[in-house]
Amino acid sequence: MKKIVLVSGNRLAPAATGGQVRSVGIARALARNGHCVHIFSTAGRKEDYQGDNVRRGVLETEIEPRLKESTHLGLTYGVLQSVGRRLDYPRVWQYNLLARGWVPGRLKQALQQADIVLSDLPYCPPIPGPWRNKPWYLISHNLEHKLLEQGGPRQKRFAGWMRGIESTATQTYTDIFSCAEEDQAFFKQHDARARLKLPLVRCGVDPGLYVLPPDMRRQMRAQLGFTEADEVLIFSGSGFGPNVEALREIEEFCRAEADFLTRNHVFLLVVGTVSRTPRREGPLVVTGPVAQILPYFAASDAGLNMITRGSGSNVKLFEYLAARLPVISTDFGVRGTQLVAPDDYLPCSRENLREVIGQFIGRDRSYRAAQAEAVWQRHRRSCDIQELINAATAQLAPFAA
């Protein structure tokens, strides 16, 4: 089988964001198809830059058979990443370093040995060198220029630059793994010779990772202080701008509807780096960063998505489905999925969220569980990352044995 190198701008495993869940899922699916997959990340996380890791200059992680990650811990990439984040600049510096071939020697060695190369996001362009003639694919997670257009002044400044990068991606790469119909249509529009397949790989997940052990619900609800009579709606997310805005909406809703929520034993559980500080304010429970998301899904009765802007799709929706949670979402929040209201999810907005929650808790739990299972079975093929990768690579000759 093939030796595949996936080039990433930052450490992917264990996944801490939706994008990382998708990237690791793609790598895992390829490894389970028999390929040897080497993720090479050019920078680590804050906690990686200490002790023996820094002295060795690299963090090696064996994720599972035929799948490993090497995280480069050189100071140049680490410092630039830290400064860029503090100043809220996109990773233009990273793009320029890679495009000029200023990369770690270990990465060059990995590229020399590779049969196929994947770039995780357009900030990781093809790297000059003898490996440039190898099949080289872009993993698109969204349209990055649209996210920059919606960001702050420093983000918007580079939106036109990124639009140019994404517009010429059809000429730069062997092909592109699209995330949703939105980016697929954009790339198709700029593929003047209709050369590419542009296979659609939605933000699927590995369903095996979301199997809930029988006693996990009871244990986690007890740990969080919930009784079995309580109704728990979970919102999971990283510190990504649209998630932070959605959290503000949730906070305002909990303050405005505290009496309604308390009277009906409803709690809104917010999990992940969308908030760095854990706190509890009446019906609002915020955990901050957590080591594992699964126990919190087990403790919940529904998945909530209040996202109203962004690009691509939200991995949290696919995680809710795989965990067999009923979904309550804005219509914008289900973009990039095949969910249809009201059969597959309850549509909501900030204005009618109280009414939608009332409708949801008015349904019997056994009915809700059966409906969630039916939704998963209807949409499994478009949510299971293994199924999606199998269908995508079947269109691409370089991945054949």
Render pLDDT for 291-342 as a digit per residue (tens, 0 to 9): 899 999 999 999 999 999 988 889 999 999 999 999 999 999 999 899 999 9
Q: Are 9 and 124 in contact (CB under 8 A)?
A: yes
Q: Are 170 and 187 in contact (CB under 8 A)?
A: yes
Give pLDDT < 70 ranges for the chain: 401
Q: How far is CA 5 from CA 33, 38, 119, 197, in A?
A: 15, 5, 9, 21
The per-residue pLDDT for 115 is 98
Confidence (pTM): 0.93
Shared fold status for 3-205+385-399 and 207-382: yes
Of 286, 287, 324, 282, nearest in space to 303 by CA: 324
Q: Tell me the three-class secondary structure of 358-374, residue by residue.
A: HHHHCCCHHHHHHHHHH
Q: How far is CA 269 from CA 166, 284, 365, in A?
A: 37, 6, 18
Of 203, 205, 210, nearest in space to 28 by CA: 205
Break the chain into its structural domains and give their ranges: 3-205+385-399, 207-382
Strands (E), 208-337: 231-236, 266-271, 279-281, 284-286, 302-305, 327-329
Q: Which 3 state secondary structure label does DSSP give 230?
A: coil
State the Cα–Cα distance between residues 90 and 144, nearest whole angstrom. Answer: 10
Classify domain 3-205+385-399 by CATH number: 3.40.50.2000
Helix axes 365-379, 315-322, angle to 10 degrees: 120
What's the half-sphere exposure (Cβ side, CA atoms, 13 Å) at 23?
A: 31
State the Cα–Cα distance between residues 257 and 41, nearest whole angstrom. Answer: 44
State the Cα–Cα distance between residues 152 and 380, nearest whole angstrom. Answer: 37
| Residue 205 β-bridge partners | 384
The per-residue pLDDT for 401 is 62
Torsion on CA atoms 63, 69, 74, 79, rounded to nearest 10: -80
Strands (E), 213-343: 231-236, 266-271, 279-281, 284-286, 302-305, 327-329
State the Cα–Cα distance between residues 345 and 329, nearest whole angstrom. Answer: 7
Q: What is the DSSP string of 177-221?
A: EBSSHHHHHHHHHT-TT------B--S-B-GGGGPPPTTHHHHHH
Place of tokens 């219509």: 331
Helix axes 18-32, 385-393, angle to 10 degrees: 60
| Residue 67 β-bridge partners | 37, 64
Q: Are 175 and 399 in contact (CB under 8 A)?
A: no
| Residue 70 β-bridge partners | 40, 60
State the Cα–Cα distance between residues 226 and 203, nearest whole angstrom. Answer: 31
State the Cα–Cα distance between residues 363 and 342, nearest whole angstrom. Answer: 14
Fold of 207-382: Rossmann fold (3.40.50)
Q: How many CB atoms lie within 10 A of CB 36?
A: 18
State the Cα–Cα distance between residues 11 and 213, nearest whole angstrom. Answer: 29
Structure tokens, 372: 């969630």
The per-residue pLDDT for 244 is 93
Of 201, 125, 261, 234, nearest in space to 399 by CA: 201
> Does a cis peptide bond (omega within 30 degrees of 0) precede residue 14?
yes
Structure tokens, 53: 């890791």
